[in-house]
């Protein structure tokens, strides 16, 4: 085995976004592209020498090849050990758990999350810190700076490591430890939730459906929901991970998980249904005949988490990303909990979790989690819901109704305009940012602006500052519109418009969300001129 020092030049555009570096697969497969980025990770974290890393991914196309390259690069750079999920699989939360549990120096997760996979779709590489969470901005900035000054990378010339068998091998001087990707994670779940109660709930005839969307959660759901909790095999749908996710978008929302939504709206609806995304960190929650918005789900979980053993002592505090609805704030206020508002992206929760200021947090994009790992966690949310259902012995619909009666309802919807011309999208956002100070007091579609600003965040733990985190327009009466550009899209720009209206009149808690938000949609258009700027008549995706 020979260590090679391969000369390269910097590659433009290797700037990590909201969730690592996400690009089209064929870009990652291009000459030196993956290698340059991985070497830049090593350089950005002060070298790989003597370190132990976790490695795994969501099983998408190129996952297996990329894992072999990374192993050879880690060995060439003098890493001591890499802990790899069998067949290079690890869900994002399971990777976060292993990074923490094994006291490692961090890990590399191969995933483009909910983006589709395949040679003509997307791939991604993300570095997580020793606390198990996504790298914060100072680290991704160092990694990015390294990509711009890179002159070469180190690679071991070697055969592929057999990752199909659990056990330990050696690659040059480096230990490669292949582990079962599921068991440690499943054990952790057993410490948090009342598996006996959930087992009894399922045995009493409650029916569930979990859609793994041919992504990484298939094996996790099969072990946890099936083997450990006794759910029938037939209740786990699309359980086999496929490199192209069966041709679908592994994005658990009513658009991309439509078959599951159709199931719960139909005559054979199970009592509870859920789906997760490509890398297993997101969740969609459904009940008989209904879809629970992620923001509502977060609020319900916060209000009821104490019913699960892992949270029986109560919550230290809670947090949500800025565009997430303020349903959570209502719960926090009623329960006397601190609530933090952070920029989009899980990395901003890390410090709050590490400092013990919060126990539970979430995002409107279907991410919910707690201090058990440092990533959002799809199956965790499913298990917490099941634990709550098992204890309360109510339906999902009853739980929601009760929640809205107690706290009021935040009607909510997100409109995405995808692959918009990037220059035009920036122009729209810059123009709107400049006009924000003039909006207060103005009326749009019958709504009066109370205040408008550009969101910036000062981390209360380490004092770091994040600017330009989205434009907020608050209206009299508790409604709000947020405008933001995505940091995870891979083609052009994605404009996200987040709409929210608060209602506490008991006779108006059960409107259709689009109807309840109709004025907001008009106001968003009137304020931002979305049609003119994007050339689009309507959003591509509404969730």
282 vs 484, beta carbon nearer Co ion: 282
The DSSP string of 256-325 is TTHHHHHHHHSTT--SEEEEE-TTS-BEEEEETTEEE-HHHHHHHHHHHGGGSGGGTT--S-EEEETTS-
From Co ion, ligand VG1, none, interface partner of 19 (C-beta below 5 to 8 A by class): ligand VG1
The DSSP string of 430-443 is HHHHHHHHHHTT-E
Residue 286, beta-bridge partner list: 273, 291
Under a CB-based contact definition with an 8 Å cutoff, are residues 89 and 215 in contact?
no
222 vs 490, beta carbon nearer ligand VG1: 490
CB of 496 to ligand VG1, least distance (A): 6
Coil, helix or strand for 227? helix
**CB within 8 Å of 219: residues ≥ 6 apart:** 89, 181, 182, 239, 241
- Kindly state whether residue 375 participates in binding Co ion, applying the rule CB under 5 A: no
249 vs 330, beta carbon nearer Co ion: 249
253 vs 344, beta carbon nearer ligand VG1: 344
Q: Which of 362, 269, 84, 146 is nearest to 259 (CA)?
A: 269
Site for Co ion in 351-370 (CB under 5 A): none
From ligand VG1, Co ion, none, interface partner of 64 (C-beta below 5 to 8 A by class): none
CB of 488 to ligand VG1, least distance (A): 3
Q: Give dist(CA 98, CA 493) in Å, integer.
A: 34
Q: Give dist(CA 250, CA 255) in Å, integer.
A: 11
CB of 486 to ligand VG1, least distance (A): 3
Task: Give start and end residues of each alpha helix (H) in 135-216.
Answer: 137-149, 183-192, 195-203
Reply yes or no on whether 113 is catalytic: yes
41 vs 75, beta carbon nearer ligand VG1: 41
115 vs 147, beta carbon nearer ligand VG1: 115
Q: Give dist(CA 419, CA 417) in Å, integer.
A: 7
273 vs 485, beta carbon nearer ligand VG1: 485
Coil, helix or strand for 455? coil
- Kindly state whether residue 474 participates in binding Co ion, applying the rule CB under 5 A: no
CB of 126 to ligand VG1, least distance (A): 8
From the centroid of its chain, how far is CA 224? 20
CB of 427 to Co ion, least distance (A): 30
CB of 66 to ligand VG1, least distance (A): 17
Under a CB-based contact definition with an 8 Å cutoff, are residues 123 and 110 in contact?
yes
Write the binding mask 227 to 266 for Co ion: x where contact by CB under 5 A, - elsewhere.
----------------------------------------
- Kindly state whether residue 122 participates in binding Co ion, applying the rule CB under 5 A: no
Under a CB-based contact definition with an 8 Å cutoff, are residues 185 and 220 in contact?
yes
- Kindly state whether residue 277 participates in binding Co ion, applying the rule CB under 5 A: yes
Under a CB-based contact definition with an 8 Å cutoff, are residues 181 and 91 in contact?
yes
From ligand VG1, Co ion, none, interface partner of 363 (C-beta below 5 to 8 A by class): ligand VG1
Instruction: Please report the sign of the dihedral spanned by the C-alpha atoms of residue 252, residue 253, residue 259, residue 261.
Output: positive
Coil, helix or strand for 376? coil
Interacting stretch for Co ion, rule CB under 5 A, among 246-254, 271-279, 340-348, 440-448?
A: 271-279
Please select the residue that binds Co ion; options are 121, 279, 341, 416, rule is CB under 5 A. Answer: 279
From Co ion, ligand VG1, none, interface partner of 496 (C-beta below 5 to 8 A by class): ligand VG1
358: tokens are 């919060």
Name the catalytic one among 19, 113, 297, 486. Answer: 113
CB of 366 to ligand VG1, least distance (A): 8
Q: Strand locations in 335-489, DSSP E? A: 339-342, 360-363, 367-370, 409-420, 443-444, 447-454, 457-458, 465-466, 471-475, 480-485
Helix (H) or strand (E) holding 211: strand 208-211
535: tokens are 């050339």
- Kindly state whether residue 154 participates in binding Co ion, applying the rule CB under 5 A: no
113 vs 293, beta carbon nearer Co ion: 113
Q: Give dist(CA 490, CA 487) in Å, integer.
A: 9
Binding site for ligand VG1 (CB under 6 A): 18-19, 113-114, 277, 281-282, 321, 344-346, 363, 365, 367, 486-488, 496
Write the binding mask 96 to 115 for Co ion: x where contact by CB under 5 A, - elsewhere.
-----------------x--
From ligand VG1, Co ion, none, interface partner of 344 (C-beta below 5 to 8 A by class): ligand VG1
Residues that bind Co ion (CB under 5 A): 113, 277, 279, 281-282
List, by residue number, the catalytic residues: 113
């Amino acid at each position: 085995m020979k260590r090679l020092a391969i000369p390269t030049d910097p590659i433009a555009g290797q700037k990590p976004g909201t969730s690592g570096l996400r690009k089209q697969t064929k870009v990652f497969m291009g000459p030196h592209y993956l290698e340059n980025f991985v070497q830049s990770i090593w350089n950005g974290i002060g070298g790989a020498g003597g370190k132990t890393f976790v490695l795994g991914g969501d099983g998408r196309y190129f996952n297996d090849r990329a894992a072999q390259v990374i192993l050879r690069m880690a060995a060439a750079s003098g890493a001591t050990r890499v802990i790899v999920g069998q067949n290079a699989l690890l869900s994002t939360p399971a990777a976060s758990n292993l990074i923490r549990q094994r006291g490692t120096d961090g890990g590399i997760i191969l995933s483009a999350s909910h983006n589709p996979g395949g040679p003509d779709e997307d791939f991604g590489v993300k570095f997580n810190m020793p606390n198990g969470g996504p790298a914060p901005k100072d680290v991704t900035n160092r990694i990015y700076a390294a990509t711009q000054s890179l002159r070469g990378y180190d690679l071991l010339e070697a055969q592929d490591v057999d990752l199909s068998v659990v056990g330990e091998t050696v690659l040059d001087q480096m230990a490669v430890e292949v582990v079962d990707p599921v068991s440690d994670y499943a054990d952790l779940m057993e410490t948090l939730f009342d598996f006996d109660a959930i087992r009894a709930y399922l045995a009493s005839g409650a029916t569930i459906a979990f859609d793994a969307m041919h992504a990484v959660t298939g094996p996790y759901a099969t072990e946890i929901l099936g083997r450990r909790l006794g759910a029938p095999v037939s209740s786990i749908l699309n359980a086999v991970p496929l490199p192209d996710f069966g041709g679908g978008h592994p994005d658990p929302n009513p658009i991309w998980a439509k078959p599951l939504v159709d199931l719960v709206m139909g005559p054979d609806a199970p009592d509870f249904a859920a789906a997760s995304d490509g890398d297993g960190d997101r969740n969609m929650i459904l009940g008989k005949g209904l879809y629970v918005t992620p923001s509502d789900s977060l609020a319900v979980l916060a209000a009821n988490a104490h019913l699960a053993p892992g949270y029986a002592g109560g919550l230290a505090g809670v947090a949500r990303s800025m565009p997430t609805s303020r349903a959570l704030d209502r719960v926090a206020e009623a329960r006397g909990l601190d609530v933090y508002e952070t920029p989009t992206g899980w990395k901003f929760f890390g410090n709050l979790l590490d400092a013990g200021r919060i126990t539970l947090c979430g995002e409107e994009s279907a991410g919910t989690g707690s201090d058990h790992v440092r990533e959002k966690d799809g199956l965790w949310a499913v298990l917490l819901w099941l634990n709550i259902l098992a204890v309360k012995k109510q339906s999902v619909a009853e739980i929601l109704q009760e929640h809205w009666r107690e706290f009021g309802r935040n009607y909510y919807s997100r409109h995405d305009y995808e692959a918009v011309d990037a220059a035009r999208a920036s122009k729209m956002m810059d123009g709107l940012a400049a006009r924000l100070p003039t909006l207060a007091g103005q009326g749009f579609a019958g709504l009066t602006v109370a205040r408008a600003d550009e969101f910036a965040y000062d981390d209360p733990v380490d004092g770091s500052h994040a600017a330009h985190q989205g434009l907020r327009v608050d209206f009299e009466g508790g409604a709000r519109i947020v405008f933001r550009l995505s940091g995870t899209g891979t083609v052009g720009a994605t404009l996200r418009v987040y709409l929210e209206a608060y209602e506490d009149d008991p006779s108006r808690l059960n409107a259709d969300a689009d109807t309840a938000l109709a004025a907001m949609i008009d106001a968003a258009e009137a304020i931002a001129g979305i049609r003119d700027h994007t050339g689009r008549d309507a959003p591509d995706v509404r969730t």
